[in-house]
Amino acid sequence: MDYTILIVIVLALVISSVRQINQYEKGVRFTLGKFTSMMEPGWRLVWPIFQSYQKVDIRVKAVDVPDQNAITRDNVTVKVNAVIYYKVSDADKAIIEVEDFRYAISQYAQTTMRNIVGEVTLDELLSSRDKIADRIREIVDKETDAWGLKVQNVELKDVSLPAEMERTIGKQAEAEREKRAVIINSEGELAASTNIAKAAQMLSSTPGALHLRTLQSVNDMSSDQSNTVVYMLPIEALHALEGFAKRK
């Protein structure tokens, strides 16, 4: 009878000591308050009173960095938010080295984002968001490596500007489009004038070419009977008539 009670007590103790670690988790075991071992996925024993443990999710997590007011290097106030993707690489460090690694990485990312934005101009912030995000990732990843965390990616979600700055940028973009339109138009006119000059030079240097061009123009205008045409003889034709009159 005594053995039966003892066996029941032992079985109850063992059953109450069984802890399940899922495939996407790791367990950190402490014995008498001291870190002793890591617990891999599966059923593991944690003896009551003497031992305790904490489970750590090692899947990739996304941390939303809320809107941060920052001032760029050219003194423009902007509001920036981002998202950080990270995972726990060393579960024991994530538990032992920092009190709350989720809160800690979020706070450090906010501070880093404000500092990096302050190092660039507004144009650089708008045109090189990927480079700035990668710079934030490098700094945060380096700092949180001691916490057992691995930052995989940082994405700048939105950059909000003051209303007056948005209007200024809109006017600047419109002026830039008008500038390109004027340049393209002037280049077209230059090309057309160059071609016209070449055509005029060719007509003047080729005997009879101007007469043929004149006859072609007359033929084009006479195709529509509703047109009234005032025809001006070219100077070459007048010279020809003058020479003919002298011979007579």
Query: Residue 239: what pLDDT?
Result: 59
Q: Are 80 and 32 in a shared domain?
A: no
Q: How far apart are CA 216 and CA 218, in angstroms?
A: 5
Q: Are 174 and 94 in a shared domain?
A: no
Instruction: Encode 6-46 in three state secondary structure.
Output: HHHHHHHHHHHHEEEECCCEEEEEEECCEEEEEECCEEEEC
Q: In 10 A of CB 198, how many CB atoms?
A: 10
Tokens 């507004």 belong to which residue?
122
Q: Are 123 and 175 in a shared domain?
A: no
Instruction: Give residue-wise pLDDT tens across range 119-166.
Output: 988 888 888 888 999 999 999 999 999 999 999 999 988 888 767 765
Q: Are 43 and 117 in a shared domain?
A: no
Q: Does residue 123 sit within a domain?
A: yes
Q: How far apart are CA 78 and CA 108, in angstroms?
A: 19
Q: Does residue 229 sit within a domain?
A: no
Q: Are 154 and 168 in a shared domain?
A: no
Q: Are 18 and 38 in a shared domain?
A: yes
Q: Are 217 and 234 a contacting pair, CB within 8 Å? A: no
* CATH classification of the domain holding 116: 3.30.479.30
Q: How far apart are CA 38 and CA 53, in angstroms?
A: 9
Q: Are 140 and 71 in a shared domain?
A: yes
Domain hosting 141: range is 61-160
User: Residue ranges of the alpha helices (H) in the chain?
Assistant: 2-17, 91-96, 101-117, 122-127, 129-144, 163-205, 209-222, 235-247
Domain boundary among 117, 138, 160: 160
Give residue 1's Cα distance to chain centre.
75
Tell me the two tokens of residue 187: 């280049």
Q: How far apart are CA 106 and CA 112, in angstroms?
A: 10
Residue from 50, 57, 54, 19 nearest 38 by CA? 54
Q: Does residue 84 sit within a domain?
A: yes
Is the overall model pTM greater than 0.85, yes or no? no
| Structural domain total, the chain | 3
Query: Residue 231: what pLDDT?
Result: 57
Query: Residue 5: what pLDDT?
Result: 80
Per-residue pLDDT tens, the chain, 248 aa: give them. 567 887 877 788 778 888 889 999 999 999 998 999 999 999 888 888 888 999 999 999 998 888 888 888 888 888 898 999 999 999 999 999 998 999 999 999 999 998 999 898 888 888 888 899 999 999 999 999 999 999 999 998 888 876 776 566 666 666 777 778 778 888 887 787 777 777 667 666 666 555 556 656 666 666 666 666 665 555 555 555 565 556 65
Domain boundary among 142, 160, 178: 160
Tell me the two tokens of residue 138: 């490098």
Q: Are 65 and 144 in a shared domain?
A: yes
Q: How far apart are CA 137 and CA 80, in angstroms?
A: 15
Q: Does residue 216 sit within a domain?
A: no
Q: Does residue 70 sit within a domain?
A: yes
Q: Spell out the residues 6+ positions from residue 74 whose beta carbon is closer than 8 angstroms to its own.
A: 121, 122
Give residue 110's Cα distance to chain centre.
19
